[in-house]
Amino acid sequence: MLTKPTYTSWGQLLQPDLMLGSSVLTLTPEVLQRHNLKGLVLDVDDTLVPFSMPEASDDLRQWVELIRPTTVLWLVSNNLSQNRISRIARCLDLPYIAGARKPSRRKLRQATKAMNLPVHQIAMVGDRLFTDVLAGNRLGMFTVLVEPMLNPARKKQRYHLRNFEVWLSQILGATLSAKEEM
């Protein structure tokens, strides 16, 4: 059984196993198979749906339908709005947990147990290092960092907090260069 190493530094805890360099929509069944991933825990806000948008796009619904036949999917969000997260989950026909408080592992553990898969075959997919990647690594999951989803009406939107996280994690020793070859 494969297990992730014990982390000895913040840089290691903040290092994703995979950086896509684009949105979650580029995470293909082939990439999942290459990394022996059978389950995905997906962050919601800015990973799947721009925070400023109320519902999932047609592109996202198509992506979920492409991934669903081979991969167990769960939504786990820090967002406290049960209304928002449940609406997105219903639209995608996926189970969800809101108010997860990542980087806490408690709600992630709840989702991984419900998936009934070995934790090393489940990826935590998100756009944030200090919540999604940190929580996934702490639980021993495979971690995938994606670029935030952008609201088409706000093309110039900036992600100052995410940029700060990237900068700080590099100072702490994360390399953030493990890009997937497409």
**pLDDT above 60 (res 182):** no
Mean pLDDT, the chain, as a whole number? 88
**Residue range 71-83: mean pLDDT, rounded:** 96
Task: Please choose, from the candidates 45, 49, 47, 19, the residue with its C-alpha nearest in 3D space to the C-alpha of residue 31.
Answer: 19
109 exposed, middle or buried (CB, 10 Å; 0-12, 13-18, 19+)? middle
Residue given tokens 């800015």 in the structure block:
46
Find out if CATH 1.10.10.10 is the number for domain 17-171.
Answer: no
- The structural domains of the chain, with segments of one domain joined by +, span 17-171
pLDDT of residue 181: 46
**Residue range 79-108: mean pLDDT, rounded:** 96
Tell me the C-alpha distance between 158 and 160, whole Å. Answer: 6
**pLDDT above 90 (res 72):** yes
pLDDT of residue 157: 57
Q: How many CB atoms lie within 10 A of CB 69?
A: 7
Instruction: List, for residues 94-141, the tens digit of each pLDDT value.
Output: 999 999 999 999 999 999 999 999 999 999 999 999 999 999 999 999
Return the percentage of the chain with pLDDT > 90, whole number.
70
**Residue range 40-49: mean pLDDT, rounded:** 96
Q: Catalogue the E-assigned strands of 10-155.
A: 18-19, 39-42, 72-76, 96-97, 122-126, 142-145
**pLDDT above 60 (res 156):** no
pLDDT of residue 135: 96
Chain centroid to CA 86: 17
